[in-house]
Every structure is written in C-alpha cells, then in structure tokens.
Amino acid sequence: MKDSVKYARWIKAEAKRLGFASCGISEATFLEDEAPRLEAYLHKQYHGKMAYMENHFDKRLDPRKLVDGAKSVISLSFNYYHPKKQSSPDAPKISMYAYGEDYHHVVKEKLWALYAFIDERMGPIQGRVFVDSGPVLERAWAARSGLGWIGKNGLLIQPQQGSFFFLAQLIIDLDLETDKAIKDYCGNCRRCIDACPTQAIVKPHVLKADQCISYFTIELKDSLPQDMKGKFDNWMFGCDVCQSVCPWNRFSLANQVPAFQPSEELLQMNRKDWIELTREGFNNLFPKSAVKRTRYEGLKRNIQFLTSEENSPETDP
C-alpha cells in the first residue's frame, strides 16, 4: 500500500477518535473556480464592513502561500447540534453554536492533537491549523474534500448529518490520498431562501453578508440600521433560520461534547432577564463563550434594538 493511502487512513481514523464528525483530504492547489466568485463578491461589497475579507486575496485562494511546500489540505467537521432550545418563547435568541464554550479554542485543541499525531507517526511535517480563522475558504475546501456540498444558504451540508457543524483545516507538506467532491443534493428546494427574515440570500449560493442577521448582531460595530426594525426575528446573537428550515438537518444528532452543552441558566432566561442583564451577569453567563465577541455593550445594543419598539412612547398604552 502506498504511503499516501496508508497515511490518509490513519489520519481519518485518528480524527474520528478525537471526535471529529468527518474528515476529507484535498490537494493543496490554487482554487481556480473560487477566484472569480470571490473577486465578484468583494467587488459588489457584499461583505459589508468586514474589511478583513479584502486582505490576503492570494492566500485565500492558494494554501501554498500559507504553508511553504504545502501538499495537502485536511478538512474536518465537528458537530455542535443540540436539541435543547431556549425555553421562553419570547426571549431574545442566541445561535446554537454559541450555547457552550468558544469553539475556536475547543476545536483547535483537537486539531493540534491531530497535527501532533501526524507529525509523530508520519513526520516530521510542517503545517498550520485553522478553525474559522486566517485567510482560508473553509467551505470550499470542505466541499472539495468530499465532506458535503455548499447549500443555497452558503453553508456546507453533509449527507445524513446536516449543517450544524464547525469546520476546520490542517494544511501540511505531506502527500496524502485525496477524496472526491460529492454531488449537490439541494435540488429545487429553496426553503432557506424563502425563510430568511432579511432576504440576505440574494440567489442560490450567494449570501449578501451585510444583510444577514448574524452580520448585524455580531460583526457590525456601528448602530443597527433602523430600516431593519422588526426584521430580526428576535435574534440577538447570530441566526439559525436558514439551518432550521433545511430538510437535511432532520438528520442532526446531539453532540456529546461537555464544553458545548448549554447551561440551564441560559436556556431558562426570559425576555425580562435579558433586558435587565448586567455586565456581571454577562460575564458569569458567558465566561468562555463566543458571545464575548460582541461584548456586553454589543449584546445590550442588540437586545435594546429588539425590545425598544415595545418600550417606546408611541406603543405605550
């Protein structure tokens, strides 16, 4: 058996042991098909004020510019789905991925463990790890590696597993057997497009990020636009609408990672609790959470935006 085949099997077995839901491998090469799409996306300024997306254009398209001598891109997915939901129907909502600890740290720790395994068994190697960080087109690589296909909402969908997954990449200078991309199984379905509260999915596979609730509630640091009043579907951090309506997510299974389990305190909070949230309460509720990205002031801004209409003089009885 060729080393590239044997090594790929070892890596996939270890990835599974570490808790990754899937693992696929691509040749580290220039993403020719994605180049014009990315250029057009940035030209139309669909990325809004996320200026970092304009940086390192060449590196986003060629992993060999991130790792000298790179030969393989290992793509992995990590399940974060949880069946428990916030109990109060009128409480401002948090995207499921932020229920537990910050995934950047949890997943990256496991990714470094996989890197160490490869270096010890097949190395020495040179490489880098990426978990939703750095100039890496993670969904493009995951699709190219056969993990799934990119759905009409722009997210990676995995057959028989859905889309509630974190993605990660390991770029290394080791030759490995590669996997083939799989077919797009979205068909004529457009539930995600029709369900988007702000019509951010302007056409299949194209998300106008600066129209997305997740962009407004997490990325945008300015005041929220008044013309979006009443369109946030009560989301105060992120949004799961396009995933919740996706038929493929009926296959989602609860993750078993302790760090990703939501606290009962968070799930039981009602609308009044969120409106009255203090800085101390915020720090106690989100000690290691991705919600800290928006900070206390940002979350309070979002909550006030959702609730200000009911408290305005015009709507008082």
Of 283, 293, 272, 205, nearest to 242 by C-alpha is: 205
List the pLDDT tens digit at each of the 317 positions of the chain. 799 999 999 999 999 999 999 999 999 999 999 999 999 999 999 999 898 888 999 999 999 999 999 999 999 999 999 999 999 999 999 999 999 999 999 999 999 999 999 999 999 999 999 998 889 999 999 999 999 999 999 999 999 899 999 999 999 999 999 999 999 999 999 999 999 999 999 999 999 999 999 999 999 999 999 999 999 999 999 999 999 999 999 999 999 999 999 999 999 999 999 999 999 999 999 999 999 999 999 999 999 999 985 544 433 33
User: How far apart are the C-alpha atoms of 113 and 99, rounded to whole Å?
Assistant: 24
Residues 141 and 203 in one domain: no
Residues 120 and 218 in one domain: no
Does the residue 127 lie in any domain? yes
The burial of 221, by beta-carbon neighbours within 10 Å (0-12 exposed, 13-18 middle, 19 or more buried), is given as exposed
Residues 102 and 214 in one domain: no
Amino acid residing at 206 = V
| pTM for the structure as a whole | 0.93
Q: Which residues pair with 93 in a beta bridge?
A: 235
Residues 217 and 292 in one domain: yes
What 3 state SS string does the chain have? CCHHHHHHHHHHHHHHHCCCCEEEEEECCCCCCHHHHHHHHHHCCCCCCCHHHHCCHHHHHCHHHCCCCCCEEEEEEEECCCCCCCCCCCCCEECHHHCCCCHHHHHHHHHHHHHHHHHHHHCCCCEEEECCCCCCCHHHHHHHCCCCEECCCCCEEECCCECCEEEEEEEECCCCCCCCCCCCCCCCCCHHHHHCCCCCEEECCEECHHHCHHHHHHHCCCCCCHHHCCCCCCEEECCCHHHHCCHHHHHCCCCCCHHHCCCHHHHHCCHHHHHCCCHHHHHHHCCCCHHHHCHHHHHHHHHHHHHHHHHCHHHCC
Look at residues 172, 201, 229 and tell me which one is the last residue of a structural domain.
172
The burial of 141, by beta-carbon neighbours within 10 Å (0-12 exposed, 13-18 middle, 19 or more buried), is given as buried
Residues 154 and 217 in one domain: no
Residues 115 and 195 in one domain: no
User: How far apart are the C-alpha atoms of 42 and 191, rounded to whole Å?
Assistant: 26
Look at residues 142, 172, 202 and tell me which one is the last residue of a structural domain.
172
Give catalytic status of residue 132 as yes or no. yes
Residues 211 and 115 in one domain: no
- Residue range(s) defining the domain that contains residue 242: 191-250+262-308
Residues 154 and 204 in one domain: no
The pLDDT value given to residue 312: 41
The pLDDT value given to residue 141: 98
Residues 52 and 120 in one domain: yes
Which residues touch 43 (CB under 8 Å, ≥6 apart)? none
The pLDDT value given to residue 51: 86
Look at residues 140, 172, 204 and tell me which one is the last residue of a structural domain.
172
Of the candidates 62, 119, 132, 233, the residue annotated as catalytic is 132
The pLDDT value given to residue 309: 55
Residues 220 and 166 in one domain: no
Residues 40 and 100 in one domain: yes
Domain count, the chain: 2
The pLDDT value given to residue 139: 97
Residues 157 and 226 in one domain: no
